[in-house]
Structures are given as C-alpha cells and as structure tokens.
Amino acid sequence: MLDLAIIGAGPAGISAAYEAKKAGLDYLVIEKGLIGNTIYGYPVGLTVFSTTNELEFNKGELKPAREKPTREELLSYYVRFVLDNELNVQTEELVTGVEKSGEHFVITSDKGKYETRSVLFAIGSMDYPRKLNVPGEDLPKVHDHFRETYPWVKKRALIVGGGNSAGEAALFLAEEGADTTLAIFRGDWENNDPKQGCIKYWVKQPLEEELKKHCLKLFFLGKVLEIKDDSVELEDEDGQSCTLPNDVVFVLIGADADLTPIAHHVGGEAAEEGQLQRYE
C-alpha cells in the first residue's frame, strides 16, 4: 500500500515526488512517456521563455549557457534531478484507471495494479491536440506537433494557429528556408496581452522581420475548409476562398488533458472529499 501515487513525471510530478521523499512517504511516480515528456516534445533546440528561477527546483541548480535554457538543457536538468535524488519514477507506463476501493484507491496501468492511500494527478494538459475537424486532416502531411525544421527546407509549409507554439514553429520554418505561411486570426496576431496566451514579443518581433524579408507570409484566417494532397483550401477573414499550394501542414491550436481516469473511475465524490488533487 503506497501513501501517494503520482501520475505524470513533468515538472509538477517531479517536484511532488521530491517533496514526498523528503516527507518520508512511500510514493511512486507513474509516467506514460519519458521523464519530462512534455518538454521532450518541444521543438529541438527551442529556447524556453521562462527564466531559470521559474524552472529549477532548488535555487542555482539550473545553469544554462545563455540567459534562458534550451529544451535540451531543461530536459537534462529534470532527468539529472530525478536520477541524483533517486526519485521513484516508472516511465513508459500508462495509467488507464483510478478506482476508489473503501478508504484507498486502486490504480490500473498497462503494466499492473497499485493500491494507494492518495493520488496526485500531475498529468498536464497536452494529451489531446485539438483538431480542425476538416476533410483531409488525416493525411500524412498534416501534423499536430512541430518537432524540427530540416525535413521541411524548401517545402511549402502552412502553420495554423495563433499562440506561441504556432508562432515559434512559423519562425523556425521561415528562418531555416521553408516557404512558410502562418494562417492566424487577425485578433490573435494583433493581440499583445500575455495573459491571453498571445505570441510572445521575442517571437513576434523576429516573425515581423521574416515578413519584411518576404521569408514568411501571413494569411488572416476565416476558416480552413479542406486539406488536399498538394494544396489547402482556406477562407480568409472576408469570407473569400483561396487555394494555397502546400506540402506540409502544422495544426497548432492547443491541446487538452486526458481526464478519463479521473472522470470515469473516481468521479466527483473523492474530489469533494479532498482526497484527490488535480494539477494541470
């Protein structure tokens, strides 16, 4: 019987494990992917926007070469933190259900079952990338994740989205020689309020430079109509249809958490009793 089962080994799950260990609890972290799986999924070479004090568990531990760490430096820090502190993390194990059984919980994963007195859902909110729900979205050239630029050099790339992930992908692609179009709602492009998840200014400024150099095109979007093998049908903000010749599409319009283990197996009762915490 565990004192605490932590689902997810992102920054929240790792810091919970560290505190649980310090408190002498019998705990286990179950992670469906790798340590820091969401960070592992960032674009290769990305410089994150947070400063070290916002990312490190103990002051002065994270020492990037420049002011802010890259994906690789951050990932390396989190992995070393887990290893050096001998945190009890099991990777590549998917939690499929959590059921209440009397005073405790039974956790079911694709590798086994665990009994625990309490559960911490530190599952983030990246499980289900949002879809456009248009014809052709299932074509192999359509991606819901941007990983790296080099396969797309000299290709006609369309990025659909209005947040930082879309902005960063457009910047990587435009800078590295893809024929890049960012399809974005005008309101998102003109939004400069960081609280509303706008494109950060240090991404937007270089994007504007790429526009001036004609390495990037903006398309003020009404809606995406259809994705075809070698083109995309779009409607602009004035309702005019337009066909863009195209080789690859990145749909970067956000993601949602997978709440099925919480919703289906625990329900509201345990949450009301305060035995279940949800961290996003």
Residues lying near ligand FAD in the complex (CB under 6 A): 7-13, 30-33, 37-39, 42, 48-50, 94-95, 122-124, 126-127, 165, 258, 261, 279
Least spacing, CB of residue 169 vs ligand FAD, in Å: 9
Sheet of strand 231-236, all strands in order from the earlier edge strand to the far edge: 142-143, 248-251, 156-160, 179-184, 216-227, 231-236, 241-245
In the complex, minimum distance from the CB of residue 199 to ligand FAD, in angstroms, rounded to a whole number: 12
**Nearer Cβ to ligand FAD (127/236):** 127
What is the C-alpha separation between 83 and 142, in angstroms, rounded?
Answer: 37
Both tokens assigned to 266: 């625990």
Min dist CB 228 to ligand FAD, Å, is 28
Choose between 123 and 249: whose C-beta lies nearer to ligand FAD.
123
Which residue, 74 or 227, has its beta carbon nearer to ligand FAD?
74
Question: Which of residues 94 and 134 has its CB atom nearest to ligand FAD in the complex?
Answer: 94
Cα 17–Cα 20–Cα 21 angle in degrees, nearest 5: 85
Instruction: Give the shortest CB-34-to-ligand FAD separation in angstroms.
Output: 7
Distance CA 157, CA 136 (A): 16
Give the integer Cα–Cα distance in Å for 82 and 172.
31
CB of 10 to ligand FAD, least distance (A): 2
CA distances from 226 to 103, 111, 134, 184, 251 (A): 52, 40, 6, 16, 13
| Of residues 232 and 276, the one with the C-beta less far from ligand FAD | 276
